Amino acid sequence: MNNPRVTTMMTHLLRGALVLVVLFLAIQLISLAVAEHETTKKSSINANARSDKRATSPLLGVSSADVNAGTAMGVSGTLLRNTNGLKTILRVYDDVKIPHGVLRQPSQSIVNAREPSGSVCSVASRAAHGQIAPNTDGGTLNPVAFINPTTINSSGRIAFNSQVDGSPRNQGVFVADSDGTINSIAIGCGGLGGSGDTTSMCGDASPIGGHFGGFFFGTFFTPDINDAGDVLFLCDVNGGSSRRALFLYRAALGQIVKVAAVGDPSPIGGTFGAVGPGSLNNSGKVVFLASGVGITRDIFMWDDRVVTKVAAVGDSAPGGGTFLSLARRAPDSRMEPISP
């Protein structure tokens, strides 16, 4: 009586075992197929790498073939062939490009090439904490890198603000040449810009009388520099005809001139109640923010001692309507320094 049941159970067990065997074989076949595909793919890649010799250089981030033949790197720069090794072109400001060479000996591998001491990834230092600050009676630079950025021109000349340690002439605006030589543009003393210090008179003489006092630090107040080496900067003045002004150092003449000062007549009427930083082009023209007695901020241009309006709140806008606002407040809630 039990034989049919035994037969049925054996049939089910055999069918289950057969299904498991088929499933196992299918998995193995799939694994073998994938492995064979990957092996073929790697072999093809290696063959292509051997055929065009484009092994990537970890140091330079380009292939050896690119190094030898030169390759375009888009808007950020171009690698050019150089008899001594590599020459890179770095786009640093609008259409300004700076050549920078990475030298190697003919017998030296690109992959194993090392940069000289004092530079990192072809970036050389121009000024450092503790370096002698010129025209400060022995003071040293005390740059706070993360809040004191710089601007650079096509010849590699860099303009920056820095506080100075070890001297009453404790701050200023400086220029570092591409060879690392540092020159002072203007030296001030006393409290920093906006501190309200009106008594310190040990800074350089100002073109509006008195002496340069406090400079303003941070991204918003970074001095600007053009290809001629002219430098634009904002500074407090102690004992002058105005408490604060925007100045331009003219490299060809070796002199500093006033661009605009608090209290100057405005071309749209009234006087400037506040003057902000500006932007300088290669023609020596300056565009800057300024405001009257009220809170509106307008844009003006200085061209060889003549100030004209660029745009003001209420003017007709090119797209229709009128300008409602031409400046937004900086992260520290200041659009520009206000006259104390």
pLDDT digits (tens, 9 = 90+) for 284-306: 999 999 988 666 789 999 999 99
User: Residue 123 — φ and ψ, nearest 5°?
Assistant: -105, 115
Q: Which of 7-16, 238-247, 266-275, 298-307 has the lowest mean pLDDT?
A: 7-16
Same domain as 278, residue 233:
yes
Q: How far apart are CA 336 and CA 56, in angstroms?
A: 48
Do 116 and 193 lie in one domain? The reply is: no
pLDDT band at 139 (very low <50, low <70, confident <90, very high): very high
64 vs 265: which has the higher pLDDT: 265
Residue 56 lies in a domain: no
Q: Would you say residue 289 lies in a domain?
A: yes
Q: Is 13 a domain residue?
A: no
Residues 295 and 275 in one domain: yes
Q: For residues 231 and 183, is the Cβ–Cβ distance under 8 A? A: no
Map tokens 């089910």 to a residue. Answer: 12
Average model confidence (pLDDT) across the chain: 74
Separation of alpha carbons 219 and 221, rounded Å: 6
Q: What pLDDT is recorded for position 303?
A: 97
The H or E element containing residue 9 is: helix 3-52
Residue 254, domain extent: 127-311
Whether 9 maps to a domain, the answer reads: no
Tell me the backbone φ, ψ of residue 299, rounded to 5 degrees.
-110, 130
The answer to whether the CB of 87 falls within 8 A of the CB of 77 is no
262 and 139 share one domain: yes
Q: CB 179: neighbour CB atoms within 10 A?
A: 8
pTM: 0.63
| Same domain (yes/no): 306, 181 | yes
Query: Is the residue at 53 inside a domain?
Result: no
Give the residue with greater pLDDT, 283 vs 40: 283
Q: Are 100 and 60 in contact (CB under 8 A)?
A: no
Q: What is the pLDDT of residues 35-72, one digit of tens each?
A: 555 555 555 545 444 444 333 323 233 333 333 333 33
Length of the chain: 340
Q: Is 217 a member of any domain?
A: yes
Locate tokens 């709140």: which residue? 313
Grade residue 199 by pLDDT with cuts at 50, 70 and 90. Answer: very high
What is the total count of domains within the chain? 2
pLDDT at position 109 over 70 = no
Cα distance between residue 11 and residue 26, in whole Å = 23
Q: Quick check: is 334 in a domain? A: no
Within a domain: 153: yes
